[in-house]
Structure formats: structure tokens, C-alpha cells
Amino acid sequence: GSIGSLREDINITMATIGNALRGATLAITRSRTAPRVVTSSATRYFSANPHVVVDKFVSSPPPTPSSANAEALRHPNDVHDRNANYSDEDSRSMAGVTASVRHNWTKEEIAELYSLPFHELMYRASTVHRMYWDPAEVQQCTLLSIKTGGCTEDCSYCSQSTRHKTFVKPTPTMKVQEVLEAAKRAKDAGSTRFCMGAAWRELGNKKNAFNHILDMVKGVNGMGMEVCCTLGMLNAEQARQLKEAGLTAYN
């Protein structure tokens, strides 16, 4: 009798758990399929995707009616164009964090950020990001090695060093047209940034190669893409020329 009663209790318990799981699964399914409302007091630069929840923030001063209704699929690639989006704002606030687009950070302010506990730093950074960006937006980038292998440096982690026996085959610097064709394919595939890397320690006196790289940068920039390079050490004049050619960032 006691065994039969125990079996009955177990069956009832299992039935209860099964019903709960089915209910939870149904709730999860509904939450995934139900459309969610974009809740923001200034959605002018955020994606119009109705399934993306943009966190609510308060801008100071509030956006004008015309700018508040303007929507774009994504932010401009150029950093100056992006910052111009916020030229009429002093700051934004959300969840106890206030932020603004600025370039006049003091050493004391930088040191304060540097000394923050890691999780607090991540929280603040994530909050600021959500105030200025669609949190579901991801930039697609393409990286191309325009000069592979044959590097004379002895970095122990790098397979492109001539000091190590690896399966990387040294190749000369790619032709300008080859690189531009690769950039065009990258853009057609959805990339908005194109980065070029070369396996050497520094540009040094590689004048011919550098002139070709300047043409590459100009060509990729002319396609409307962000351009970044990883070319080792530079001097000030080389950095200036890369900037004038349209380089977005340097690694």
C-alpha cells in the first residue's frame, strides 16, 4: 500500500513538473515571437528594427521635434560625422550614469576611470554605449594581409617571423588593384570597414610600398568605407600622409 501511494505521489509530482515546463516553454516561445516596442526618448539615430529594445535615456537639452523623428539604419562611418549627431546635446543620462561626447579629459578623470573596479567600469561603459548606440548593431569588418610572412622580427607568438619554421609562405606586397578588388568584394558582402595589415616591424624607408599603400587607402576611402591599417611603427610624416589619404584608424 505504501509503495502504491509513493508511486501515485511521484506521478502527481512528475505531472506537475511537466505542466510547469510546458508552461515555461510556451512563455519563452511567446516572448521570443511577440514584437517588442522600441522605447527611447530620442530614437533619431537608432535602428528602426521593432525587435530591438533601445534603452530609455534623457538627453539634455531634449531633441528638437524634427531631429527626434529622423531615423537612420546605422551611424555614419566617419567619427566626425558621428559626433556631429550630438552637437546639439550637452549630455545624456540613464540609470544613474551621465555621459557626453567630449575630447577634453583630464589626467585625473582618466585615472579615476582606470582605478574603477572592473564590474563597475563594465557597467558604466555598457550604459554609455546603450545611450548612444543601438545595442544590437554590429559592424562587419574585413581584414586583409597585404604583405604576408618574411618578417625579420622574432616575436615568439607570430607565425610570420622568419625566425620560426611555420607553414606560412612569404609573399610580396599585394598590388594596389588586387587590394581594391578585395575591398570591393568586402563592401558587397556587407563590410563597412576594411583593414590592411603588413608583416614587418616598421615602414622605415619603404617609399615605393608606402606610396602604394597610400593609393590603397585613398581607393578604399573612396568607396565610402572606413579604412584602418596595421603597418608597424610609423614616423610623424607617414602618419600625416595616411591621415590625408583618408585613414580612419591605425593599429
Give per-residue pLDDT as tens, 56-108: 656 556 655 544 444 445 666 666 777 777 777 788 888 888 888 888 999 99
- Grid cell for residue 234: 610609423
- Angle between helical axes of 207-222 and 236-245 (0-180°, round to 10): 30
CA neighbours within 13 Å on the CB side: how many for 25?
Answer: 6
pLDDT of residue 181: 96
List 92's β-bridge partners, or say none. Answer: 59, 99
The pLDDT assigned to 49 comes to 46
Cell numbers at residue 120, please? 563597475
The residue type of 117 is P
User: Can you tell me the distance from the alpha carbon of 251 to that of 229, in angstroms, rounded to the nearest whole number?
Assistant: 6
Whole-angstrom distance, CA of residue 204 vs CA of residue 201: 9
pTM over 0.85: no
- Which single residue is written with the C-alpha cell 530609455? 56
pLDDT at position 19 is 59
203 contacts 250 by C-beta, under 8 angstroms: no
Positions in the chain short of pLDDT 70: 1-79
Span 203-219, pLDDT tens digits: 878 888 899 999 999 99
**86 DSSP 8-state letter:** T
User: Whole-angstrom Cα distance, residue 198 to residue 172?
Assistant: 10
Which residue type, as a one-letter code, is found at position 115?
Answer: S
